[in-house]
Structure 1
């Protein structure tokens, strides 16, 4: 189907369907979920000196892209200039995230932001949420790994009780750190198993650390039965990092992956193998949003398996429903492709096999019932 035909088909999907479909979010960073209102409250509580009012800082998050010369000849054209919605003064996602981490002072703060992440996800119809969490900051070192994870878990337990959701945590590996530090982190995860910590993920700017640096950490995680994912082919304009993540790191799924389009052989390989990509139409790099959406369209055209994610919903800002709206609208996904996106998310989740199968059956039944109700069957 052509892009124009796909867009025409997508118009028939009503917004009510997009709001009500059961969803799964596999790629969401805990710090990036923090609400502007929570950031403002904590900043004032701690007396944090900021260059502007906390609400203004959040409104002006805009990560500037790297040297545009790196992206002049990509398969999907990357914008070379600024976008019309960029603020006069920009605050990078990493800077704002660092301020948020600075404000978290107790286990109760950690539990609160996890609970609020699930509460906001629930409003988008999210049934299962997997959250990236980072290493414990120095000022909370007294909690240790076990204490911090248990504080996060308290937030998930409360959300499960209040919203009927399920949730898991992903231990984030900062790729700007050394392979030895990553291995130490994974060893801590393995030595302290927790029911809510389901796997590991490689994050931070892809250009800050090649995936092959983390082979030993990922091997240990695999031996322990942990799920494995990695941000790949997001910032580096190459498909090679994705093949490294699949072949050397043993990743179960890939976060982002847009630049796999640079290599037709890799596109064919991931299509054949059914690799699931968690894709976000919205990014703090505002000028790159059109490129993101065009790339996701091209991934769909190539028959790749994608599932929308919210990534950093509090800071972009976005919601998972918004991401499905963008998939149905500007990206032009068909009704059938949107249904597949939901099912891809369930099938790529790190729930235990029995729970995953039950969720897939429930989600499929709800999609069928909603289609029938709205005349989309």
Structure 2
């Protein structure tokens, strides 16, 4: 029989925050299948097959020839013959969403899965612009539908949650500013901030200075995908200094510049990272990069990014940290608490969440000590 605090159970039961999670990327294969069949979505294969074969191909390899941690060039052993990119599948999921109840459903299921698989106590999910068939809802109607999913999850699972309005970096500066103005003009208690998504090579952070300035003036929190696809560290400095970000999504290529690493270490900039990616061939590189970030003393907080599509769970990410990187419980506990510090709850709620974490971690350790005492020598 497995003890209550075996390594696997301990990692699953550790309280966690998940602060870097794309809502469309949380959708389960079964939910997508249900939505796609209901609306008669024309797909090249069955939904279950598409989810099984998600594998985003790497961008131009010439960009990554001189990186400090070598980026793999070959195929991964588990790459399917026919691949479906993360962006393509996310587009199909958006196409299958047809009413407000669908938005509430996928939000609630995201929280349910995080609670059930990973003991997530606080979840922040980013949402894109309106799905193609939901223009009539408008921005506010969509946000209300997402928020209803969070309220139901808070009631059922004792969690807290917030929404992050995603800015698509493949759009123009003017379009990004319009997106943020929409957020600012329609304040909502559950929308805590904005994030900059999509391929980093599609839009440099400088393009979004005006949009981020408007968000900051309105009191919104700010984050951005940075140093993830562009193999440079200076984008992260731009995100911190020009965009006013208080945390960074990914950030692996900060390792290209020792001065940037030193600054980010000294300022305790939170980096929300995930070992698992839809680029299967890059997964070993991700692990090596995150290990190097931790070794460099950076403030690394684990996330799961697109858990329904990779697939992964936050517990899986913690398990990789424990088993592959050799992080002990003390370091994993510190990482979980760093997630509380980096979250976008109001200060009083954040303080209460930290106390909850400390209590639950103490209880887990007490169970662990009891198991050790009862185990025959």
Give the TM interval when normalised to the shorter protein: over 0.9
Structure-2 separation of matches of 1:244 and 1:228: 13
- The match for 1:349 is 343
2:121 corresponds to 1:116: no
* Greater Cα offset, 24-33 or 66-75: 66-75
1:99 to 92, 102, 105: 92
- The match for 1:15 is 8
2:55 corresponds to 1:35: no
Whether the aligned pair in 2 keeps the contact of 1:32 and 1:315 (CA below 8 Å) is yes
Q: 1:224-243 residue pairs with structure 2 within 5 A?
A: 224-243=218-237
Q: For structure 1, list consecutive stretches of 5 or more residues without a partner in the other structure.
A: 1-11
Structure-2 separation of matches of 1:236 and 1:337: 29
Structure-2 separation of matches of 1:321 and 1:70: 32
Structure-1 separation of matches of 2:53 and 2:84: 6
- The match for 2:52 is 59
- The match for 1:71 is 64
- The match for 2:213 is 219
Structure-1 separation of matches of 2:266 and 2:80: 42
Structure-2 separation of matches of 1:289 and 1:150: 36
1:189 to 183, 187, 193: 183
| Matched position secondary structure for 2:369 | coil
1:87 to 72, 76, 80: 80
- The match for 2:267 is 273
2:310 corresponds to 1:308: no
**1:46 shift after superposition:** 1.1
Whether the aligned pair in 2 keeps the contact of 1:23 and 1:342 (CA below 8 Å) is yes
TM-aligned CA distance change 1:99 to 1:264, over 3 Å: same
2:295 corresponds to 1:298: no
Residue deviations 1:150-198, cap 9 Å, x none? 0001100110111110000000000000111111111111111100000
Residue deviations 1:278-319, cap 9 Å, x none? 000000000000000111100110001111111000000001
Structure-2 separation of matches of 1:37 and 1:176: 30
Structure-2 separation of matches of 1:368 and 1:225: 35
Structure-1 separation of matches of 2:143 and 2:307: 21
Structure-2 separation of matches of 1:92 and 1:336: 37
TM-score (norm 1): 0.95
**1:13 shift after superposition:** 7.6
**1:51 shift after superposition:** 1.1
Structure-2 separation of matches of 1:238 and 1:359: 35
Structure-2 separation of matches of 1:316 and 1:138: 24
Whether the aligned pair in 2 keeps the contact of 1:296 and 1:331 (CA below 8 Å) is no
1:131 to 125, 136, 141: 125
Q: 1:314-329 residue pairs with structure 2 within 5 A?
A: 314-329=308-323
**1:373 shift after superposition:** 2.1
| Matched position secondary structure for 2:181 | helix
- The match for 2:250 is 256
**1:16 shift after superposition:** 1.5
Residue deviations 1:88-131, cap 9 Å, x none? 10000000000000010000111000000000011110000000
| Matched position secondary structure for 2:162 | strand
- The match for 1:173 is 167
| Matched position secondary structure for 1:374 | helix
Residue deviations 1:38-87, cap 9 Å, x none? 11111111111211111000000000001212112211111111100101
Structure-2 separation of matches of 1:371 and 1:328: 17
- The match for 1:9 is none
Structure-2 separation of matches of 1:356 and 1:235: 32
Structure-2 separation of matches of 1:66 and 1:335: 36
TM-score (norm 2): 0.95
Runs in 1 of length 4+ with deviation above 4 angstroms? none
Structure-1 separation of matches of 2:142 and 2:59: 34
